[in-house]
Amino acid sequence: MEAVFTKELKPFLDAVAERMELYVPKKAGDYYVFKRYEPSDEVAAEFNNIRACTPVKEFLFPLCELAAVFPKTVEPEDVKPFAIFGLKDCDLRSIEILDKVFAEEEFKDPFYLKRRENMFVISSDCSEPGESCFCTVLDGRPYADSGFDLNVSQVRDGFVIEVGSEKGKGLIEEHSQLFSEVPEVLLSERDEDRSETQKQLEQKNAELRFDTPIKEIVENSQESEVFDVEAKNCVECQACTRICPTCHCFYLYDTKQKDYFAKMKMWDSCMRQAYAEVAGGANPHKVLGDRIKHRLMHKFVYFLDRYGIEMCVGCGRCVDADVGGMDLREVLKKLSEELKDKGKKKAKATK
C-alpha cells in the first residue's frame, strides 16, 4: 500500500480541516475525547497513543436523533463530510460491526448510512495501549490494516501516513507538497514498533488466551451462577452499554411538537430492568444476572451466529467505565474456569 512521510502533523490536519469538519483527540483528564479541530489552538492536535475513551458510534448513531415526522415525512438531514483523526483498530472494527446492523441488512438505517458515507477515517497506531485493552484476545491489533482512508503511524522524526482508499489518496495527492517519500528504514521501524506493542498486549493478556473459543465458553454458561454473583457488584449504571462502541440497542419514542409529531430514536441499554418488559408485565430479563448474561450471550454467541463476527472488539472501555467494579475480562476468566471444572467432573463421572 502507498505511504508518505511528513515531519509535522499540523499542516496535514490543517489540509484535512480545509476540506471538511475535522475531529481530533483532546485530553480530558486522563483520557482522550474527540473535539472539533481548531487550527489556532495552542495544542491544535496531538497524537493519541491509545484509543479515545468515547466510542466512535457517537458520530454515526448519535445518542438521540429524529427518526420520523408524522404525518409529513423526513429525509435524513444533510450531513456534511467530516473526518475523525485518531481512531484505532478497535474503533474501525466497531464500525464494521455497526455496519452489519445498520448498513447491510434488508432494512437499512438511512440516518446511519448518510453519516457513514460522509465519514473520512484517519486512524492511527496505538503505541501505549491501556491497562484495560484486550483487543488481541478478539483478533484485534494495536494498528489497523484496513477500514481507513488514511492511517498515521508515529515514527522517529515524524509520521508515516498510509493510504487506505481512493478518497484518502485524493487528499494526499492534492497536498503533495506536504509529504515526502518514506525512507525504507522508517517503514521497518514502524513495523517493529507495531509488533513490539502487539507482543506487549499479548503478554499482558496471556491469561485471557483460553484453550476453548470464547463463544463456546459463553454458550456453555446458561446455567452458570457467575452472572448472579457479578450482579451483586453491578449498580445498573448502564455505563458499559453506553460507552461500548458496538452496543447499538435503541429506543423509539414519540413526542408532540407544535405542529407535528416526531418519532425519536435514542440509545437504550439492555441492562435497564424494563428493557424487555411487555405491556402485560411479562419480562424475560427481570433479574439483573439474566440481563448481564444476555449481554454476554449477545456479544459472543448470538451476534456471531447471525453475522459471523463477535460483537466485542476488546477495547476495554466497559472495564474503565464500570462504576461497580465488574470486569468483562474477569467474567470471561471465571466462565472459562467453570467450563474446565465441568469438563473435569464429566471426565471423572465417565471413568
Where do contacts with other proteins occur on this chain (CB under 8 A)? 67-68, 70-71, 73-76, 101-102, 105-110, 222, 248-256, 261, 263, 265, 268, 270, 275-286, 290, 294, 297-298, 301-302, 305-306
The contacts of residue 42 (CB under 8 Å, 6+ apart) are none
Task: Please say which residue, 36 or 253, places its beta carbon nearer to other proteins.
Answer: 253
Strand ranges (DSSP E) for 16-72? 21-28, 31-36, 64-70
Q: Can you name the residues that pair with 264 across neighbouring β-strands? A: 66, 253
Locate cell 473459543: which residue?
213
In the complex, minimum distance from the CB of residue 233 to other proteins, in angstroms, rounded to a whole number: 23
In the complex, minimum distance from the CB of residue 42 to other proteins, in angstroms, rounded to a whole number: 43
In the complex, minimum distance from the CB of residue 256 to other proteins, in angstroms, rounded to a whole number: 4
Task: Please say which residue, 106 or 166, places its beta carbon nearer to other proteins.
Answer: 106
**What type of residue is 20?**
M
In the complex, minimum distance from the CB of residue 283 to other proteins, in angstroms, rounded to a whole number: 6
Task: Please say which residue, 61 or 159, places its beta carbon nearer to other proteins.
Answer: 61
Residue 270 DSSP code: T
In the complex, minimum distance from the CB of residue 22 to other proteins, in angstroms, rounded to a whole number: 29
289-298 per-residue burial string, b: 16 or more CB within 10 A, e: under 16: bbbbbbbbbb
**C-beta of residue 249 within 8 angstroms of C-beta of residue 241:** yes
Cα separation values, 205 from 129, 135, 209, 277, 314, Å: 12, 9, 7, 38, 11
In the complex, minimum distance from the CB of residue 240 to other proteins, in angstroms, rounded to a whole number: 15
C-alpha to C-alpha distance for 164 and 148, rounded to whole angstroms: 5
Task: Please say which residue, 31 or 302, places its beta carbon nearer to other proteins.
Answer: 302
Task: Please say which residue, 60 or 163, places its beta carbon nearer to other proteins.
Answer: 60
**What stretch of H or E contains 32?**
strand 31-36
The phi-psi region of residue 238 (left if phi > 0; otherwise alpha if psi is between -120 and 50; otherwise beta) is: left
**What type of residue is 213?**
P
**C-beta of residue 97 within 8 angstroms of C-beta of residue 309:** yes
- Quote the cell numbers at residue 189: 521501524
In the complex, minimum distance from the CB of residue 228 to other proteins, in angstroms, rounded to a whole number: 14
Task: Please say which residue, 145 or 338, places its beta carbon nearer to other proteins.
Answer: 338
Task: Please say which residue, 282 or 347, places its beta carbon nearer to other proteins.
Answer: 282
Task: Please say which residue, 108 or 156, places its beta carbon nearer to other proteins.
Answer: 108
Task: Please say which residue, 47 or 302, places its beta carbon nearer to other proteins.
Answer: 302
In the complex, minimum distance from the CB of residue 67 to other proteins, in angstroms, rounded to a whole number: 4
In the complex, minimum distance from the CB of residue 107 to other proteins, in angstroms, rounded to a whole number: 4
Of the candidates 10, 90, 78, the one whose C-alpha atom is nearest the C-alpha of residue 52 is 90
315-325 per-residue burial string, b: 16 or more CB within 10 A, e: under 16: bbbbbbbbeee
**C-beta of residue 133 within 8 angstroms of C-beta of residue 315:** yes
Q: Can you name the residues that pair with 64 across neighbouring β-strands? A: 266
Task: Please say which residue, 67 or 182, places its beta carbon nearer to other proteins.
Answer: 67
- Backbone angles phi and psi of 18, in degrees to 5: -65, -35
Residues, the chain: 351
In the complex, minimum distance from the CB of residue 9 to other proteins, in angstroms, rounded to a whole number: 38
